[in-house]
């Protein structure tokens, strides 16, 4: 028997997600920017998905920008902030970011930006005191991963976000491994930007979102037809987004039971492995 244990890399789409996507492909295939009925039917699907994803993190629907996944959401957060400046500034990340943050930040560094990479302790935790000490007058963004994709460490995002906010610095968190597993409330959490990915929550690959706090202004990475409030041009992948929306709605309900069940399973596995030589 084979057992799939790589759910942090990808989750199998739920049957409701597959059904939603099939229905959209077959029936709501219009371009959501078109003014005629076919377009408007697709636009309704798109906006329903936006509400479903927004509800997962208690955000207003209009603060959700659909992207091609977590990678693009992360890139949009970093480059969207950076491109607003004519001259290089200072950016702070942790030393345990996913490459979707680490790489664009490394590019910025090549273009003259100053970068501070906060160290982590033996559990992979960032020390809030280190963030306080690293902030400078020209710091324009702090980005710290919420749940680390390889070892699972959860960062004190509340505390870190608050420190950045007190200094008037934008705070982004990559919540790709957390959204849909632990409850997130962006009305309470001091974050300005937050990345989510569909395929980690039993939705399809190729869809994700960036939450952007309403008063935060970003420069788009992809320009063109002005879709997604001009922040991400290109005809939206409506079938994928609809699947993502359904996955988000299911996750919001199931998370309450599912997360404690997974924690029990994980603890049991760790206990048993601890008794296994080597
Ligand atoms: C923490 C984290 N950020 C970003 C990504 C990239 O997301 P996507 O695969 O949707 O581009 C991943 C995927 O593994 C991830 O684990």
Element (H, E) at 246: helix 238-274
Point out the ligand 1 atom lying closest to the alpha carbon of residue 69: 10
**Could you give the count of Cα atoms lying within 13 Å of 210 in the half-sphere of its Cβ?**
31
**String of DSSP letters for 95-122:** TT--HHHHHHHHHHHHTT-EEEEE-B-T
Give the Cα separation of 16 and 29 in Å (integer): 18
Taking the C-alpha atoms of residue 205 and residue 172, their distance in angstroms, rounded to an integer, is 22
Q: Which atom of ligand 1 is nearest to the CA of 148?
A: 1
Identify whether 137 is part of a domain: yes
Q: Which atom of ligand 1 is nearest to the CA of 199?
A: 10
Q: Which atom of ligand 1 is nearest to the CA of 198?
A: 10
pLDDT of residue 277 exceeding 90: no
Distances from the Cα of 154 to the Cαs of 97, 144, 179, in angstroms?
A: 12, 10, 12
Residue 246 lies in a domain: yes
As a whole number, the mean pLDDT across the chain is 97
Percentage of residues of the chain with pLDDT beyond 70: 100
208 lines ligand 1 (CB under 6 A): yes
Does the beta carbon of 145 sit less than 6 angstroms from any atom of ligand 1? yes
Q: Answer yes or no: are the C-beta atoms of 241 and 46 closer than 8 Å.
A: yes
For 145-202, what is each residue's pLDDT tens digit? 999 999 999 999 999 999 999 999 999 999 999 999 999 999 999 999 999 999 999 9
Q: Is residue 278 part of a domain?
A: no
**Atom 5 of ligand 1, nearest CA residue:** 70
The predicted pLDDT at position 204 comes to: 98
* Domain extent at residue 193: 15-266
- Residue 131 — very low, low, confident or very high, per pLDDT cuts 50/70/90? very high
Cβ distance 155 to 121 under 8 Å? no
The answer to whether residue 229 sits within a structural domain is: yes
Q: Which of 100-109, 121-130, 228-237, 268-277 has the lowest mean pLDDT?
A: 268-277
Q: Percentage of the chain surpassing pLDDT 90?
A: 96
**Residue 275: per-residue pLDDT:** 85
Phi, psi of 62 (to 5 degrees): -70, -5
Q: Is residue 201 in some structural domain?
A: yes
CATH code for the domain of 39: 3.40.640.10
2 domain-assigned: no
Mutate which of 177, 179, 180, 210 to test ligand 1's pocket (most atoms within 8 Å of Cβ)?
A: 177
In a domain, 90, yes or no: yes
Q: Whose alpha carbon is nearest atom 14 of ligand 1? A: 9
Residue 278 predicted with pLDDT over 90 = no
Using one digit for the tens of pLDDT, what is the confidence trace for 250-266?
999 999 999 999 999 99
Q: 206-223 pLDDT, tens per residue? A: 999 999 999 999 999 999
Q: What is the pLDDT of residue 245?
A: 98
Q: What is the pLDDT of residue 47?
A: 98
- What is the count of structural domains for the chain? 1
Q: Looking at the domain assignment, is residue 3 inside a domain?
A: no
């Amino acid at each position: 028997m084979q057992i799939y244990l790589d759910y942090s890399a990808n989750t199998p789409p739920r049957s409701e997600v597959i059904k939603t996507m099939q229905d959209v492909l077959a029936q709501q295939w219009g371009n959501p920017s078109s003014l005629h009925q076919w377009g408007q039917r697709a636009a309704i699907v798109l906006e329903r998905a936006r509400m479903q994803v927004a509800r997962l993190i208690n955000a207003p629907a209009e603060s959700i920008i659909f992207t091609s996944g977590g990678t693009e959401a992360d890139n949009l957060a970093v480059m969207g902030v950076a491109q607003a400046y004519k001259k290089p500034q200072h950016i702070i990340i942790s030393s345990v970011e996913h490459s979707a943050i680490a790489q664009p930040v490394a590019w910025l560094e090549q273009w003259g930006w100053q970068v501070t990479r906060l160290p982590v302790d033996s559990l992979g935790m960032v020390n809030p005191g280190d963030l306080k000490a690293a902030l400078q007058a020209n710091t324009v963004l702090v980005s710290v991963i919420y749940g680390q994709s390889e070892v699972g460490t959860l960062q004190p995002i509340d505390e870190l976000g608050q420190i950045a906010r007190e200094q008037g610095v934008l705070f982004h968190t990559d919540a790709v491994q957390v959204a849909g597993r632990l409850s997130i409330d962006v009305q309470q959490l001091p974050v300005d930007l937050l990345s989510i990915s569909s395929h980690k929550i039993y939705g399809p690959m190729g869809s994700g979102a960036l939450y952007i706090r309403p008063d935060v202004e970003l420069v788009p990475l992809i320009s063109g037809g002005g879709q997604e409030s001009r922040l991400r041009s290109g005809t939206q992948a409506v079938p994928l987004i609809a699947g993502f929306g359904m996955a988000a709605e299911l996750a919001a309900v199931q998370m309450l039971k599912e997360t404690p069940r997974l924690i029990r399973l994980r603890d049991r596995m760790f206990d048993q492995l601890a008794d296994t030589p080597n």
